[in-house]
Structure formats: C-alpha cells, structure tokens
Amino acid sequence: MKKKSIFKASFEESLNLEDDGLVQYQNKDVFSRLEAYYKQGKPTMKLHFHSFLLTLVGPIFINFMILVASLSFHDSDPKDLTLPISKYSLLTADVYVVSFLIWISIILIGKCIKRAYLLPYRSHFHVLTYLIWLVLEFNLLAIDVSLPTLTNWFLVLIFVLLVLSGLLMLRLEISSLKNLMYGVNPVPILPNRLFKKLPTFGAGLLGFAVILNILLKRLPITFSTLVEGVGLLGMWIAFNLILLAFLIFMECPCYLQSYYKWKYPEEYRDWEGKSVEDWYGKKYLKKHKELLEAKNEKEINL
C-alpha cells in the first residue's frame, strides 16, 4: 500500500480523529469551553479581560522575573550562591525583548484567522507559544547553571538526546495517527502506550522531585554541589521531555483536526449541525457573502 500523508485524508477519514482519547478530552474540556468566549465570531469582553490579565501575569511578570533572577544571579558574589553560575548570561534583556516581540507578532499574524470555528484553536495556540517561550527561558537559565560543572559537549549531547526523543515521539504519533485514520502503519502497542503515558509519569516524577527537594532542605543534612547539580539536571531533562510529550501527543492531533476543519469547512459544519452564522461568524461572512448565497440557494432547492 502506498504511504499516505496525515495531511491528505478524505473528510470521512479525518472523522476518525474523533476516536483519539486525547482529542476527545481537548474538545470537551478545552476548545468547547473556549467557544463560550466568542459570540458570532467576535471575542467577548470577558475574553479581552482574561487575555489582558494573563498577558500581565505571564509574559510581562513571570517571564520578566525569570530575567531578573538570571541577572541577579550573575550580579551576585559567587560565594553567596549555592551552585556556581556561568560567567556570561545567556538570558539577557535583549533575548527577552526579542522573544516578546516574536510572541506579539505571532498573535498579530493570528488575527488573520477570522473563521469562528477556528478561533478557539487560535487562542489556545497563543497559550502554547507562550509556554514554549517560558520553557526557553528556563532552558537558558539552566544552561547558565550547568556550564560551570558540565562540559559544552555534554550539554550538546543532552540537547541531541532531547531532539532525538522528540523525533521518536513524533514518529510514533504520526504512525498512530495514520493507523487511526487509514488503518495502516500500526505501531507496537507497548512503546506507543509508554510514550503517551510519559507526560503523566514525568509530571508525577517532577512533582515528587520538587517535594523531596523541599523536605531534604529541612533536614540537617549537607549535600555536595555535585549531588545538587545532578538533581537539578535530572529535573531539567524531565521538564523538557514532559513538554515534548505534551506538545506531540496531546496538541498535534487536535491541531491536525483543526487543519481538516479548515480543509473541509462545509462538511464539518453539516456534520456538527451548525448554522452558517454560528460556524463562520458574522464578521467573516461580511467579507464572504458567497457562503450566505450558497446557503440560500440550498434552502430554495430543498
């Protein structure tokens, strides 16, 4: 059988994505709730307020405080630090400003998406891009802490392993999606299940490590810098693996479904039983009156 792309499914084949458990969860608990923040293709005042508030808390406060923490570490006396830090800072004000401008640019580009049924995906995507930016800052700060104790080649090896792990997860997910949509290219059940459980196991392991770290600090036990560094390194790697697994196994299937909704808009509208106004939104229909004309012609023929 000729290999099929996950982007070339028919409408009927794309409906099989609904059988994915994570897609069902996202549609029920994420995107369906986001739909309530839009009325006829326009964001409500509540959404504007939440977006403004989250922007203040996230990019402007949390990410900025990570920058401040990085700068304060480099300005401190090395004797006052528990762990040594790199002489040169990777997380600088310029990096923060450029990252912020890129994030804002992505939001502005997203404004080009006007179809009402895609707006929840657009809002959620902006959250994902912020999460990636947040993790990037944590990675830069972690590299600053790791450089004095680890060689450059060892850090490169860590990132190579992370990239290979991400590619392996992506390959497993693509095979799983092909099997779901076309019934081809089945993957071994055990490895696929293990990787799909990685976010849960990883989050539990990371939480356990944080709790253990808090408890150990309260005990009258002194740990070497090496032990502390190894512990932080393990948490850093686990954090990145959790993010990769989350983006690949949970988000990729949902955005693949959004791609097919964009590709087969009328088929999905009929399948979900939505009116033209509810599906596209009045704002979008003002510039695409042919959709309303097609609707009227269809009603006349009926």
Residue 195 reports pLDDT greater than 80: no
Our count of domains for the chain comes to: 2
221 pLDDT band, cuts 50/70/90, is very low
Looking at 115, 148, 181, the residue that finishes a domain is 148
Q: For 133-153, what is the mean pLDDT?
A: 84
Looking at residue 15, what is its pLDDT? 94
- CA-nearest of 295, 265, 297 to 11 is 265
**In terms of pLDDT, which residue wins out, 136 or 237?**
136
- pLDDT mean across residues, the chain: 80
Inside any domain, residue 290: no
What residues pair up with 42 in beta bridges, in sequence order?
Answer: 39
Instruction: DSSP letter for 199, please.
Output: H
- Name the percent of the chain lying above pLDDT 70: 77
Quick one: 134 and 179 in the same domain? Answer: no
Quick one: 143 and 157 in the same domain? Answer: no
Residue 121 reports pLDDT greater than 90: yes
| Inter-residue contact 195 to 245 (CB < 8 Å) | yes
Pair of tokens at residue 87: 């002489």
Quick one: 157 and 189 in the same domain? Answer: yes
Inside any domain, residue 23: no
Inside any domain, residue 96: yes
Pair of tokens at residue 194: 């293990």
For 63-104, what is each residue's pLDDT tens digit?
999 999 888 888 777 676 666 777 888 889 999 999 999 999
Quick one: 137 and 49 in the same domain? Answer: yes
Inside any domain, residue 1: no
Looking at 130, 148, 166, the residue that finishes a domain is 148
Looking at 125, 148, 171, the residue that finishes a domain is 148
Residue 199 reports pLDDT greater than 60: no
Q: For 54-64, what is the mean pLDDT?
A: 88
Which of 43-52, 220-229, 287-296 is predicted with the least confidence, judged by mean pLDDT? 220-229
218 pLDDT band, cuts 50/70/90, is low
Quick one: 196 and 105 in the same domain? Answer: no
285 pLDDT band, cuts 50/70/90, is confident
| Inter-residue contact 278 to 259 (CB < 8 Å) | no
Determine the structural domain holding residue 131 and report its residue range.
38-148
Q: Please state at what angle helix 189-196 crosses helix 198-218, rounded to 10 degrees.
A: 50
- CA-nearest of 122, 98, 102, 100 to 111 is 122
Which of 173-182, 189-198, 246-255, 290-299 is predicted with the least confidence, judged by mean pLDDT? 189-198
pTM, to two decimals: 0.80
